[in-house]
Each structure stands twice: as C-alpha cells, then as structure tokens.
Amino acid sequence: MADKLGRDTKQMHLTLGDAILLFVVYIVLMLIGMSTIWVALVAEAEAIPRPGMAVVYCGAMSLVGASIFYTRKLYKAIISDSYTLVTQPFVDQPPAVRLKRLGTFAFYIFRPVFGVAFAIMVYSIWRLSLSASGADQASPTKGFLYTTIAMGFLSGFLAGRILGMLEGYGNRQLRGILGTGEQ
C-alpha cells in the first residue's frame, strides 16, 4: 500500500510494544509542550514577553504539533493495516525485520526532534527578517509571543512536509550543480 508520496507503508514494521511506547512518548511530549505553553500564557500573562523565552515556547509548541500529527499518523496506520505489525519475539526476528523495525521506530521518534529543529530555524529566519527591517529594536509584545507559539506548532505539525520540501529542494540544487538533470 502506498502513501501520498508513493512510499510503500507495508515496509514499516512495528511490534505492539513499539507502538505503545511511541504513544506514551507522544503523550509525554504533548504534556511537556502544553505545560510549557501554559506557563507562557498564564504565569507570564501580565509580564512583558522575553525574547529569549520565545524560542523555548516555539520549541515546546512544536513538540505539541509533532506529537499530535504523528500520534494521528500512527493510529491511522495501525487501524488501516497499512503497516506490518511484527508478532514474533525479537530473538526470532530475521535481521531484515529488525532493521525495518529500527527504521520505523526512528522515523516516529525523530519527527518531534525534527519539528523542534525546524521551529528554531523558522523562528531564527523570522527574527533575522525583523532585525533586517529595523523592527527588532522595539520591545516584544503579546503578539510576538502568540506568533512564536503558532509558528512552533505549525513547524512541528508539518515537520514531515518541511523535511520533504527541503530534500526535494536540495536534490534539485545538487543535480543543477552536478549537471546531472533538470533543476
């Protein structure tokens, strides 16, 4: 069975324990992200937003966004039988199955990390553009904080799409530099 990008999702292998562990990790990441945002919105409600903390809030909300997206992706895949669920004990699994499990697990576990990295990258680009425009000299407002939180969520939620776009762009640029095809 192929996904939207034409990848064969039947090559994704997980055990029941892997899936449960991933769900637990995503719940913990959501709780960490949401509690951090709670502090931002409630405890600092009257305070002037600190620019240094904005990147923390951006990363926290990215964890929430990535956890929501990949929890949904994982349960949909399990319900639809689009992944191979491995039932044999680890010691009885052929090395190829072990590697596919490791790759599938890494796919899911690193996506929130990628989301945080992309959130920091988007935040940095945004701050750089503010600096270049001269608007960076003003003290941050609540809108600054809310924009940062929204950017973080979108960066986490769309981490897979951002990664795909960057890969496609990088491949096109490399082919152009090497002269091995169309740009």
**pLDDT tens per residue, range 22-32:** 999 999 999 99
Residues sharing a CB contact under 8 Å with residue 149, sequence separation 6 or more, in sequence order: 37, 40, 57, 58, 61
Q: How many domains does the chain have?
A: 1
Residue 151 within a domain: yes
Residue 1 falls inside a structural domain? no
Pick from 148, 150, 124: which is nearest to 54 by CA? Answer: 148
As beta bridge partners, residue 84 has 13
pLDDT level of residue 96 (50, 70, 90 thresholds)? confident
Percent of the chain with pLDDT over 70: 83
In a domain, residue 183? The reply is: no
Range(s) of the domain holding residue 131: 9-178
Does the pLDDT of residue 7 top 70, yes or no? no
* Residue 46 one-letter amino acid: E
Looking at the domain assignment, is residue 108 inside a domain?
Answer: yes
* pLDDT tier for residue 183 given thresholds of 50, 70 and 90: very low
Residue 158 lies in a domain: yes
Q: Is residue 4 part of a domain?
A: no
Q: CA 163 to CA 171: how far, in whole Å?
A: 12
Contacts of the segment 42-45: beta carbons below 8 A, 24+ positions apart: none
Residue 3 counted as domain residue: no
The better pLDDT of the pair 170, 45 is held by 170
